[in-house]
Amino acid sequence: MAASFHSGKPKAAIRSNVEPFHAMDILAMANAFAQEGRDIISLCVGQPGAPAPDTALEAARSALQGGRLGYTDAAGIQPFRRRVAEHYNEQYAIELSPERVFATTGSSAGFNLAFLAAFDAGDRVAIATPGYPAYRNIMRALAIEPVEIETDEKTRWALTADQIREAHASSPLKGVLIASPANPSGTMMKPEALKEIVEICEELGLWLISDEIYHGLTYGDATGLEEETALRYSDHVIIINSFSKYYCMTGWRIGWMIVPQILLRPIERIAQSMYISPPELSQIAAIAAFDGKQQLQQVKAGYAENRTLMLDALPKLGFTNILPIDGAFYAYASVENFTDDSMEFAKRVLRETGVAITPGLDFDPVRGPNYIRFSFAGTKSDIEIAIERLGNWSGLK
């Protein structure tokens, strides 16, 4: 009987059994079609079509010429930490000590570090659905329990202080994770709503993690909504941010956290062992990216035009219940007029029109089959061609 302990091949750990990104199936199909020579328009990936700003590219080139790139402090080089702290002064008029800035290998590494430093196995952490799927997947892999709370138009598609209070009363939470603007919805919280969340977390003794990766990409001229950082209301929150979106630097894998004093050393200890340090080259380029604002604002102006095109075309094409696009570069819309299986729908659209879109399943396991996400981070002509093709395909325009 004891032999059964030793029989058979070792298996993958249960913790590895997280959901795959279903959107990757669409991406794989799109790539296969493109290799066959088909003309594919991709509206399925959440990354800018534009390259990093020239200032960043130039800084990286000269760092490469200098030759040696090495490990840095786990929290990043001092000029990086100082420059990010200055950014808070410039952008939000908040004085911040560079000591509280922690460089990360993209915001994705920031989640790992924040979760490991703030939560223990079995802790419950509230997140919104629809929401970015990596939150729940990383939590599950770390044996943290994601508590998925449904949001809808009644709560402006964001968690509210009342929902947090209610979830905590039914079974205690240890933390809350929010994103504003959010992926896939593009919706933003009003500053008052954000303040209430910060306050309820303080009252209940919960960690608040604020994913601010889409800051910089908000359409205040059209929506009247301005972005706000959770740091405005407390020094005890964990801010996660990145150069991937506004700064057009997905492939550089560089981001940052603003960390409360009490978590600095715990995060540093974990980061030393998990990553040693973020890439030095990317830190150098990122510092210079802050000087590329002029170029980045032009990229953003392109998104604003794409956003207008989308908001005009999608209802005419039969998509309904489009969430308010306050920020980011996504339109999230219902496909109830076409199907109740958005995965099959996305595959069919790709096969029949060559336009790749993202099914909602990744973002919302319950209502996702009724939703589709369109990314408009590409060129205006891509968006125009996609709209044209979808119009011809659906017979609606």
Distance of closest approach, residue 141 Cβ to ligand PLP, in angstroms: 15
Distance of closest approach, residue 259 Cβ to ligand PLP, in angstroms: 16
CA pseudo-torsion sign 92, 95, 101, 103: positive
Contact call for residue 211 and ligand PLP (CB under 6 A): yes
Contact call for residue 338 and ligand PLP (CB under 6 A): no
Picking from 203, 206, 214, the residue whose alpha carbon sits closest to that of residue 243 is 214
**Binding track over 237-256 against ligand PLP, x by CB under 6 A:** -----x-x-----x----x-
168: its two tokens: 């905590």
What's the CA dihedral at 34, 39, 44, 50 to 10 degrees? 100
Distance of closest approach, residue 327 Cβ to ligand PLP, in angstroms: 11
Contact call for residue 146 and ligand PLP (CB under 6 A): no
Selected binder of ligand PLP within 30, 42, 43, 46 (CB under 6 A): 46
Distances (CA, A) of 207 to 118, 174, 178, 364: 7, 6, 11, 23
- Under DSSP, is residue 326 helix (H, G, I), strand (E, B) or coil? coil
Binders of ligand PLP: how many residues, by CB under 6 A? Answer: 13
| Residue with Cβ nearer ligand PLP (285 or 313) | 285
Contact call for residue 107 and ligand PLP (CB under 6 A): yes
Distance of closest approach, residue 370 Cβ to ligand PLP, in angstroms: 21
**CB-CB contact of 239 with 202 (8 Å):** no
CA angle (338, 340, 345) in 5-degree steps = 60
Distance of closest approach, residue 391 Cβ to ligand PLP, in angstroms: 28
Contact call for residue 370 and ligand PLP (CB under 6 A): no
- Under DSSP, is residue 208 helix (H, G, I), strand (E, B) or coil? strand
Give 230's Cβ-side CA count (13 Å radius).
Answer: 35
Separation of CA 268 from chain center: 23
| Residue with Cβ nearer ligand PLP (144 or 313) | 144
Distances (CA, A) of 79 to 29, 71, 99, 289, 323: 43, 15, 11, 13, 40
Show contacts with ligand PLP in window 162-181 (CB under 6 A).
179
**Binding track over 10-39 against ligand PLP, x by CB under 6 A:** ------------------------------
349: its two tokens: 């659209």
Selected binder of ligand PLP within 31, 108, 155, 234 (CB under 6 A): 108
Applying CB under 6 A, the span of 90-98, 103-111, 138-146, 357-365 interacting with ligand PLP comes to 103-111
Selected binder of ligand PLP within 183, 295, 342, 353 (CB under 6 A): 183
**DSSP characters for 80-137?**
HHHHHHHHHHHHH-----GGGEEEESHHHHHHHHHHHHH--TT-EEEEEES--HHHHH
Applying CB under 6 A, the span of 82-90, 104-112, 284-292, 334-342 interacting with ligand PLP comes to 104-112
Q: Which residues of the chain form contacts with ligand PLP (CB under 6 A)?
A: 46, 106-108, 132, 179, 183, 211, 213, 242, 244, 250, 255
